[in-house]
Amino acid sequence: MTRDTIVSVFNEVAVSQGRTLAPLSDDLRLTECGLDSLSFAIVVANLEDSLGVDPFNAAEWVDFPVTLGDFVQLYDRAVA
Amino acid sequence: MISLWDAVAPPGATIAGGFRDRAGHVDLAELQAGSTFGDALESLADRSVLIATHEQRASALALVELDGLARRVVLCTPDLSAAQLDGVAAAAEADAIVVDSPTDRSTPAPYVVSARPRALQGSRRTRVATEWVLLTSGTTGTPKLVLHTLESLAGSLLPGPDSAPRPAAGGEALVWSTFYDIRRYGGLQIYLRAVLTGAPLVLSCAGEPTAEFLGRAAAAGVTHISGTPSHWRRALMSGAAALLSPRYVRLSGEVADQALLDSLRATFPQARVAHAFASTEAGLAFDVDDGLAGFPEAFVGGGSGAVDLKVEDGTLRIRSRRNASRYLGDGAKALQGEDGYVDTGDRVELVGGRYYFRGRQGGVINVGGLKVFPEEVEAVLNAHPRVRMSLVRARRSPITGAVVVADVVLNETSAPAGADDVKQELLSLCRQVLPAHKVPAKMQIVPALELTPAGKLVRPVG
């Protein structure tokens, strides 16, 4: 489950960066989830290691994910 | 000799422009008969002054007030520790510090500015060509002090024979904003543009969420806005970027990749999207506005005289009147080479008539526009009793350009037990003494690190 992996990585990074996460629902805006840019960079690096993909690096990618749901979808498509 | 105030308030002209932040708005015209220093302003004449305010707005006003009056102004970034501030004060021979909230500091002499100008007796008079000092990261964790003048910072924005044309009266009004802190080179450029063209400037506030800042910028009718690629990615992810309808979007401070340029063009179809190359030492070198990553080969070697570029040993070098003059402080190394060029340390490669940025020489890591010297982080790791050696390097990131990662060799090669505990200890050690962007995002314990025949760490290229 991509979503479970993503949620656990969000939690790990929040703890290590000393940040408080908002309750993670699909319509939560990423910029309101409690992580800063550096934390997101670490989330994306960790996900690349655990899922083997970096969907942000794909050539056809253009739209930035805005909500957690968008973010999960981006990874779902990349893993598929 | 012309000061910032002379340029803002030419005789007989109306003073335009001002600063807006979360707390409200202040017009530059209020400085005509007022000062945020009150009656203490005169006593700052000929001093070397650290500007170390919490909020940008206080610094924005102090700069207009002190240029032409103080001998030297030092723009302190808000992330400085008390010890770093002391080091900067010593290197700059500071005898005054400007703060915006009461302080228990007694040296250098503290001046507490008010949020709004208070009545000022007498008028402003330009008496010195003030030195401007910007801070940039150094290998040891102590900031380096980079000496500029108003001329080198503002270039053709200052009134004079080479001055850029002022916006035509009656044209559409410009409103500037920047994600940058104005106390860093990229932000200061936007500050000077706004102040010298009489345009309002919308400033971000400490700890302000991106969406809130974008909402404020949109409400203020921002037409021109700048930030690093990391700032812009963050803005696009906030879902609030589309609130803006800018005519000009500018990126600098990091490599702008094609995916981001395309995203910005799709989000702001009515805007000109440009990326610029500038550094604190080399100054502003060029703007690229053809919508493509990298820059045209023709920029290099032309030798227009205004800004000369060359590529030597794979790195971009710049010689121009926008260069800083030198580093301040004891034992500071030369900023320019003997040929007068500043080596930017940015490696470039020519591919099909265009130069592309390929990372930093010497392994300097750029995390969201902030420099990290691997040696500084390695020194922290190597101080741990169980660490034999470490290598800190960049890992590419689509969010911040790069993140810091570390490979660590432990002393007991035969006893890997407790490696996870050591990792945790090392990370918490780093978090205690380093700002967050310098703390390794990933750390792995490795059996050995490759050395050169000369016994130096083999550092990855790029």
Does B338 share its domain with B375? Answer: no
In a domain, B17, yes or no: yes
Does B177 share its domain with B92? Answer: yes
Nearest-CB residue to B400 (from A41, A61, A63): A41
Nearest-CB residue to B237 (from A46, A49, A65): A65
Tell me if chain A has a CB within 8 Å of the CB of B126.
no
Identify whether the C-beta of residue B143 lies closer than 8 Å to the C-beta of residue B136: yes
In a domain, B432, yes or no: yes
What residues of chain A lie within 8 A of the CB of B368, using their CB?
37-38, 41
Tally of structural domains, chain B: 2
Does B153 share its domain with B8? Answer: yes
Does B201 share its domain with B338? Answer: yes
CA distance A1 to chain B (A): 23
In a domain, B358, yes or no: no
Does B255 share its domain with B114? Answer: yes
Nearest-CB residue to B259 (from A18, A62, A65): A62
How many CB atoms neighbour CB B13 within 10 A?
9
By three-state DSSP, how is residue A80 classified?
A: coil
Task: Annotate B28-91 with three-state secondary structure.
Answer: HHHHCCEECCHHHHHHHCCCEEEECCCCHHHHHHHHHHHCCCCCEEEECCCCCCHHHHHHHHHH
Does B293 share its domain with B368? Answer: no
Q: Do B237 and A63 touch (CB under 8 A)?
A: no
Does B368 share its domain with B342? Answer: no
Among B391, B343, B18, smallest CA distance to B202 is for B18
Q: Could you give the CA distance from residue B445 to residue B58 in angstroms, rounded to a whole number?
A: 46
In a domain, B222, yes or no: yes
What residues of chain B lie within 8 A of the CB of A16, using their CB?
427
Beta-sheet pairing, B200-202 with B176-178: parallel
Q: Do A38 and B403 touch (CB under 8 A)?
A: yes
By three-state DSSP, how is residue A4 classified?
A: helix
By three-state DSSP, how is residue B217 classified?
A: helix
Identify whether the C-beta of residue B191 lies closer than 8 Å to the C-beta of residue B197: no
Cα-trace Rg, chain B: 23
CA distance A33 to chain B (A): 10
Query: Which residue numbers in chain B have pLDDT < 70?
Result: 139, 161-171, 302-305, 413-417, 454-455, 461-462
Domain harbouring B219, CATH code:
3.40.50.12780
Beta-sheet pairing, B96-99 with B72-75: unpaired
What is residue B281's predicted lDDT score, i.e. its pLDDT? 95
Hey, which residues 250-269 in chain B have their CB within 8 Å of chain A? 259, 262-263, 266
Does B304 share its domain with B437? Answer: no
* Token output for B436: 């967050």
Domain residues for B372? Answer: 364-445
Q: Could you give the CA distance from residue A26 to residue B438 in angstroms, rounded to a whole number?
A: 31
Reported as type and span, the H/E element at residue B273 is strand B272-279
Q: Could you give the CA distance from residue B409 to residue B416 in angstroms, rounded to a whole number?
A: 10
What is residue B388's predicted lDDT score, i.e. its pLDDT? 86
What residues of chain B lie within 8 A of the CB of A56, using their CB?
259, 398-399
Does B423 share its domain with B284? Answer: no
Which one-letter amino acid corresponds to residue B219?
A
**Helix crossing, B229-238 with A37-51: angle to 10°?**
80
Q: Could you give the CA distance from residue B102 to residue B113 in angstroms, rounded to a whole number?
A: 9
Q: Do B211 and A31 touch (CB under 8 A)?
A: yes
Four-residue CA torsion sign, A3, A4, A7, A9: negative
CA distance B238 to chain A (A): 5
Q: Could you give the CA distance from residue B418 to residue B403 in angstroms, rounded to a whole number?
A: 26
In a domain, B102, yes or no: yes
Q: DSSP string of B158-184? A: SSSTTPPPPPPTTSPPP-EEESS-TTS
Does B291 share its domain with B382? Answer: no
In a domain, B227, yes or no: yes
pLDDT band at residue A70 under the 50/70/90 scheme: very high
Q: Do A40 and B236 touch (CB under 8 A)?
A: no
What is residue B301's predicted lDDT score, i.e. its pLDDT? 85
Mutate to test the interface with B, among A26, A27, A42, A74 (most CBs of B within 10 A): A42
Which residue carries 């707005």 as its tokens? B57
How many residue contacts between A and B have a Cβ separation below 8 Å?
75
Residue of A nearest to B367 (CA): A38
In a domain, B455, yes or no: no
**Helix crossing, B229-238 with B258-267: angle to 10°?**
50
What is residue A60's predicted lDDT score, i.e. its pLDDT? 61
Residue of A nearest to B262 (CA): A62
Does B30 share its domain with B85? Answer: yes
First to last CA, chain B: 43
Does B230 share its domain with B272? Answer: yes
Identify whether the C-beta of residue B278 lies closer than 8 Å to the C-beta of residue B284: yes
What is residue B171's predicted lDDT score, i.e. its pLDDT? 61
- B422 phi/psi in degrees, rounded to 5: -60, -40
What is residue B447's predicted lDDT score, i.e. its pLDDT? 87
**A22 vs B416, which has greater pLDDT?**
A22
ipTM: 0.91
Tell me if chain A has a CB within 8 Å of the CB of B242.
no
What is residue A58's predicted lDDT score, i.e. its pLDDT? 67
Q: Could you give the CA distance from residue B440 to residue B435 in angstroms, rounded to a whole number?
A: 11
- B435 phi/psi in degrees, rounded to 5: -65, 155
In a domain, B156, yes or no: yes
Domain harbouring B385, CATH code:
3.30.300.30
Q: Do B436 and A38 touch (CB under 8 A)?
A: yes
Which of these three, B347, B372, B388, is where a domain ends? B347
